[in-house]
Amino acid sequence: MKFLSYWHDTAPAFAGAAQGPVDGHYDVAVIGGGFTGLSAARQLARAGAKVVVLEAEKVGWGASGRNGGHLNNGLAHSYLAAKAELGRERAIALYKAFDDSVDTIEALITEEGIDCNFRRAGKVKLASKPQHFEAIARNFEAVNAEVDPDTALLSAEDLKQEVGSPFFGAMLSKKSAMMHMGRYVVGLAEAATRHGAMVFESAAVTEHRQAGGRHTLKTSRGSVTADAVLVATGAYTPSIFGYFRRRIIAVGSFIIATRSLTGAEIAATMPGSRTCVTSMNIGNYFRLSPDNRLIFGGRARFSATSDQRSDAKSGAILKASLTAIFPQLANVEIDYCWGGLVDMTKDRFPRAGYQDGVWYAMGYSGHGAQLSTHLGMIIADAILDRPDRNPLKGLEWPAVPGHFGKPWFLPLVGMYYKMLDTIQ
């Protein structure tokens, strides 16, 4: 078993990283070489801006290369709850932003010729308990009537054609997609450089100063100046950006991938070949990879640490969960086990805009694979003084009380959600 991301291990290397020292003056400096930062850099460079991307590790090293590979449309959680909290207008705008995000990725892939196995698969939200199906059905009725007719309610009988495990029904979101995340992020980086952006790897930003309308960013490889800065670092945001660190909760998300399944195993396990997510608070998500592995993930442990020891513990929990859902795969080998940090917000809604002199887009709360490309391009357009399309503009973002970067309270949160899963 390999303790590294399947997406990283099966993607080509990015060959376009800038060499030599980090120096010079730029119109925009982008901190973070994931989906958000690279899509913004591409958009800016296409408009003629001089852009530099400063990535602490390799492109796609963080959440962009450590996720489950889902591109799910619509809100990740209840539309009814979002409407109650945000109001109908913003809830609809945010729902449609997720829809538009999948369209944006599909168009970008086509335009740039990125080979990343993009496919419109549809997503099923699986009811793990009878009462969960009742809640899913209520949410479906509102979604289908008010914002997304490309949805359907599936019965337990319908699901026999979708998943080889008993659930109590599901909501199908037909616009959802999937792709190979590693190939996509490398293709996105190549597109950004092809349009003129400079992408530096192994260039962690260690200092940020702003004076006289000009930013100075210091890295281990040198310094740059810029007229504008975009922070696109999510859960990996450095401590020099304290405003975001007090509002982002870094939570570990862990994933395993089986060996390639046989045709018979696929027919017995994932005949629908969609993206799937269960309805538990501490639930699981899964899909088939391009080479027919079952990629199976979840919040196996409420930890802010992702290293081989932590990932191995979480992998064992995930294998037990996989076996509980799919006992027919109990003896199937696990080839990959990896983890990464997710940038959660307290209310689990993302944030994007301008604060403390810098632009930002983050807080995707485990559902950024689709939205990050779209928001990166939207913020790039804002930097270029184009019409403002930000669906999150003006959304209040209070700091998490008692939180200054290290989420000491995660074990308590985990205990709370486990209790909810027991009683609800």
The pLDDT tens digits of the residues spanning 157-181 come to 999 999 999 999 999 999 999 999 9
Report the alpha-carbon distance of residue 141 to residue 114 in Å, rounded: 37
The reply to whether 42 falls in a domain is: yes
**Cβ–Cβ contacts within 10 Å for residue 335, how many?**
15
The pLDDT of residue 412 is: 47
The pLDDT of residue 416 is: 41
Residue 362 near residue 348 (C-beta atoms within 8 A): no
Tokens of 52: 């530099």
Total number of domains in the chain = 1
Which residues sit opposite 410 in a β-bridge? none
Residues above pLDDT 90, as percent of the chain: 83
Residue 234, pLDDT above cutoff 60: yes
The reply to whether 1 falls in a domain is: no
Write out the residue range of the structural domain in which residue 341 sits.
6-413
Q: Classify 302 in phi/psi space as left (phi over 0), alpha (psi -120 to 50) or beta.
A: beta
The reply to whether 280 falls in a domain is: yes
The reply to whether 177 falls in a domain is: yes
Closest to 151 (Cα-Cα) out of 132, 125, 128: 125
The pLDDT of residue 305 is: 58
The reply to whether 422 falls in a domain is: no
Residue 42 near residue 191 (C-beta atoms within 8 A): yes
pLDDT band at 138 (very low <50, low <70, confident <90, very high): very high
- Residue 382 has φ and ψ, to the nearest 5°, of -65, -40
CA 283 vs. chain centroid, Å, equals 16
Say which CATH number the domain at 64 has: 3.50.50.60
The pLDDT of residue 315 is: 87
The pLDDT of residue 401 is: 86
First to last CA, the chain: 36
The pLDDT of residue 76 is: 77
The reply to whether 421 falls in a domain is: no
The pLDDT of residue 280 is: 78
Which range is most confident: 72-86, 135-149, 293-307, 310-324? 135-149
Between residues 308 and 361, the one the model is more confident about:
361
